Homo-oligomer: A and B are copies of this chain.
Amino acid sequence: MTKIIGRTSWAIVGGNIALDQSGPEPDFTSRDSLSMLNLGAEDAQVEITIFYVDREPVGPYKLALAARRVREVRFNDLIDPEAIPLCTHYAALVEANVPIVVLFSRVDTRQAENARTASMAFPGE
């Protein structure tokens, strides 16, 4: 009965992984995260491309997202083809071979109390 909701491309803007943090790891590490949902019956192959202020885009970073499953990825953990530098503005294009749903959330733990934002990625047509 479940309907398939999602898109095959999403853009994320406003990324910036803070250098400093307070509190114990890993729960209180400053981080940018990607939450992905695949409502469909087919496994998704996900490719992420990272865009910067002053150099060429880097990618693709390849991830799998199984059918009817959730996956949470920290941008801090994307290391192949290369790690995303800290304290650097970036954006991301998330593409998949089947429709998925993508949320971008940021936690900044540089102060005693965490600052937190979440916003839907912007969907392609």
Contact = CB atoms under 8 A, between A and B. Distances in A.
Interface of A: 1-3, 5-6, 9-11, 13-14, 33, 35-37, 39, 49, 51-54, 56-57, 68-72, 89-91, 93, 95, 101-103, 105-108, 111-120, 122-125
A45 to B, nearest CB: 12
Contacts of A2: 49, 57, 93, 95
Nearest to A10: B5
A114 B118 CA distance: 15
Contact of A37 (B6, B91, B103): B91
What is the copy number of this chain in the assembly?
A: 4
Given A9-B3, A51-B68, A90-B70, A111 B113 contact: yes
B39 A14 contact: no
Contacts of A9: 3, 5
A35 B11 contact: no
B70 A89 contact: yes
B116 A113 contact: no
Most buried by B among A6, A95, A107, A122: A122
